Structure 1
């Protein structure tokens, strides 16, 4: 019996089985490196610039139309998810606070930090605008100015918070009204307690489905980048940027000072964490914000990176959705401050201390008017109308707005991740080990874990 059994040392190597042969190609394909998301975005930016330049200079009509349609479809897909995403994210985030000890203190500190950083950002915007005089020597004329189709006022802002019905805010994408309804429903669910559990369970499932669908849209960002950047170059070209050179530089410099100056300083001194490590972990959300120009569209990715940076899931699911609709250092602080100075100088309207203080007030209190969508026209008209400046000035800035909005939105989203880290660190609930090991990740990795971010899957966070 022993001789008839093949010895492991003497037997020939077995021939490959069909299963092992089939596995070989998959092993080879697994070795093919995936293109990082940031590289895909960068490639989209380059292709967009090249194709936009070609469509403009060679007058290729079909190429220009194609770029426009690609950009429009990408933005439409993001907007399609905005209304239900905001409603369910904020509703669940409020009810999720029941799992957090000292939730009221966390919420209060979050809002105070939102206001404090907005104050710093608007001060930087004012300082830059006063030093550079962006409205002088533009080469533009009053004929280039025009009133916007829609505008904001304090009356509209205050009365517009409360919807007249529950359908219109979703069909007309009135995000501020959606936020109001979500807050009411969330607080009511907290008061109901166990009776609201079935609704909350359904809401968590719907939120997970929406986030999953949004991850698929996010994967299209490199293609959307080609359309959005290409359209901007095709429509405006470099000549227009030259006319707004000082204004454009002011916005980018102001946002850069907040993004790479103020935020790192706060992280290092208040949270006592490594700012470079923060950017390493948060970069996927920041770069998507730059391309998509939508804080709300970037919300799931912002929440993902915030949690990976060590912020408790229960708290992050509250702070990030609220930040995505109210925390706008780029769009609601830096931009309206510099834009108001631009418009005042262009129309030769003198402004003094009172006007500058009004700009600060509007920026800190009225930032929710921006609603986390592409563009900041409502916030700008709100600022100009408060100061008594000509609303025709908005028409001067709309042409260059898409190019400015990229940097503004990146700054917004970075701030929406910074504040939860700051508050968590001060409350001693930040997982510093997770923060230290946070890294950039691919969209595929984020997508695979998107459904796991439904609230309530971790032990309650405790604020000391």
Structure 2
């Protein structure tokens, strides 16, 4: 007797779309946060903090092994793709181009609005962070001293380095490395499946994260940082809904609205989770749904999740540097603005796809010679601006593979044109059929 594997009959007759679940979580979180703060309900504040913290903790739990195996497998997957070196170089080039555009927008907004003026803040309000970033730390910190510490301390940059070395070595070994590659692919599939369960909890996590932010900070804090907060949001929104659609329409020659229909679930999750790496499985899923070949998406998305940060590493540090300079009464010149652009393009890997961008900010300030106490001025407002920063990061991580695929003639335009905003299918990426049009022709 055969057992049917068709599970469609067990699905609920109605399931709210993922975006609607997230939106409901946002609304409920705001209401509960406002209630907890206005009525001083301490147990509700604690509950919201625990719910949000648990959700982020679950995301971070899989970060270290997920990054390692995703980078390793993505590099080895390039052997299945024609013109792999060309695709990799084009991906890196567009990462740089979009980062330059983003940092330029951040600089212009900062220079026009003067975010540090009229805040009432003084240098005495700042405090030097316990950990800072410098170019020496960045360069020497790439190579780990052992293979355990990067995983226990969650040093994503070092994990990426080890994964890249392992992936390149596996390519050189050829068939001898196949058992390791098979094991790595199985582990990656397992991690992605487990993380999918966490992602399904995003609406609940949203309630806790947004509610705790409102209950803890309220709206008073935003008043002091009104111009700075508005600058970061405006800059990110210009990139999200101005620059990206323009690139899609003029460079990729596709309908920008279709891109946002397909990528919206990942952008939403990034907004509430504030983690590019935690969102990575969903980002890869929506990128493939947009018609990007799986073999290429499995390289470009993990690579982007650890190095492609238009929000955290371009717009934010540009505006933040101007803000800090104005608070401390330091005049920046043209050379300083060029340094900001350089740091944004080269040093973006320092953000490592984790919650927050403090390391990138300290790297920028140290390069410009600005006081590190400026970081302390921005830590209070960081959770609020980090949401839009991370959403911009993830949108860019999905955008570049679409642009490169379109320019290289690999994009499945039929799949792109038909993509919709329904809930993302949970089928693991590795289970995409071999004859699926999202796969690229194997290398000869």
Q: If the TM-score is normalised by the length of the shorter chain, which range does it land in?
A: over 0.9
Q: Give the number of equivalent residue pairs.
A: 435
**Which whole-Å deviations, capped at 9, do the CAs of 1:372-418 have from their partners, x for residues lacking one?**
00100000000001001111111111111111011011110110011
Match of 1:172 among 134, 148, 153: 153
Distance 2:352 2:113 in 1: 29
> 8 Å contact 1:212–1:451 — kept in the other structure?
no
**TM-score by structure 2 length?**
0.95
**Which whole-Å deviations, capped at 9, do the CAs of 1:99-157 have from their partners, x for residues lacking one?**
00110010001001000110000000000000000000112233321111211110110
Number of the residue aligned with 1:132: 113
**Which whole-Å deviations, capped at 9, do the CAs of 1:4-63 have from their partners, x for residues lacking one?**
xxxxxxxxxxxxxxxxxxxxxx98x96742111111111111111111112222111111
Number of the residue aligned with 1:11: none
Q: What is the CA RMSD across the aligned residues, in angstroms?
A: 1.8
Number of the residue aligned with 1:235: 216
Number of the residue aligned with 1:206: 187
> 8 Å contact 1:241–1:400 — kept in the other structure?
yes
Distance 2:95 2:423 in 1: 29
Match of 1:118 among 99, 102, 106: 99
> 8 Å contact 1:209–1:451 — kept in the other structure?
no
Q: How far is the alpha carbon of 1:450 from its aligned partner?
A: 4.7
Matched, 1:390 2:371: yes
> 8 Å contact 1:122–1:360 — kept in the other structure?
yes
Distance 1:322 1:455 in 2: 23
Structure 1 residues 30, 295: closer, same or farther in 2, change over 3 A?
A: closer
> 8 Å contact 2:103–2:314 — kept in the other structure?
yes
Number of the residue aligned with 2:170: 189
Distance 1:233 1:44 in 2: 13
**Which whole-Å deviations, capped at 9, do the CAs of 1:52-87 have from their partners, x for residues lacking one?**
112222111111111111111111111101000000
Matched, 1:327 2:308: yes
Number of the residue aligned with 2:3: none
Matched, 1:425 2:406: yes
Number of the residue aligned with 1:261: 242
Q: How far is the alpha carbon of 1:454 from its aligned partner?
A: 10
Distance 2:255 2:141 in 1: 41
Number of the residue aligned with 2:427: 448
Matched, 1:66 2:62: no
Match of 1:461 among 426, 438, 441: 441
**TM-score by structure 1 length?**
0.91
Distance 1:454 1:371 in 2: 32
Q: Secondary structure, in 3 states, of the residue corresponding to 1:335?
A: helix
Q: Secondary structure, in 3 states, of the residue corresponding to 2:218?
A: helix
Q: Secondary structure, in 3 states, of the residue corresponding to 1:298?
A: helix
Distance 1:204 1:77 in 2: 21
4+ residue stretches of structure 1 with deviation over 3 A? 29-32, 448-451, 453-463
Q: How far is the alpha carbon of 1:451 from its aligned partner?
A: 5.2
Distance 2:372 2:433 in 1: 43
Number of the residue aligned with 1:158: 139
Q: How far is the alpha carbon of 1:212 from its aligned partner?
A: 0.1
Distance 1:76 1:305 in 2: 23
Q: Secondary structure, in 3 states, of the residue corresponding to 1:291?
A: helix
> 8 Å contact 1:314–1:461 — kept in the other structure?
no
**Structure 1 residues 124-133 or 222-231, which shifts more?**
222-231
Match of 1:374 among 330, 352, 355: 355
**Which whole-Å deviations, capped at 9, do the CAs of 1:163-184 have from their partners, x for residues lacking one?**
0000010111000000000000
> 8 Å contact 2:122–2:328 — kept in the other structure?
no
Number of the residue aligned with 1:365: 346
Q: Secondary structure, in 3 states, of the residue corresponding to 1:148?
A: coil
Q: How far is the alpha carbon of 1:430 from its aligned partner?
A: 0.8
- Ranges in structure 2 where 5+ consecutive residues have no aligned partner: 1-7
> 8 Å contact 1:96–1:456 — kept in the other structure?
no
Distance 1:30 1:374 in 2: 34
Higher CA-based Rg: 1
Q: How far is the alpha carbon of 1:235 from its aligned partner?
A: 1.3
Q: Secondary structure, in 3 states, of the residue corresponding to 2:276?
A: coil
Structure 1 residues 455, 337: closer, same or farther in 2, change over 3 A?
A: farther
Distance 1:189 1:232 in 2: 45
Number of the residue aligned with 1:5: none
Q: How far is the alpha carbon of 1:223 from its aligned partner?
A: 0.8
Structure 1 residues 454, 150: closer, same or farther in 2, change over 3 A?
A: farther
Structure 1 residues 59, 157: closer, same or farther in 2, change over 3 A?
A: same
Match of 1:89 among 64, 70, 93: 70
Number of the residue aligned with 1:8: none
Q: How far is the alpha carbon of 1:462 from its aligned partner?
A: 6.9
> 8 Å contact 1:314–1:456 — kept in the other structure?
no
Distance 2:12 2:237 in 1: 38
Q: Secondary structure, in 3 states, of the residue corresponding to 2:354?
A: coil
Number of the residue aligned with 1:20: none
Number of the residue aligned with 2:260: 279
> 8 Å contact 1:68–1:231 — kept in the other structure?
yes
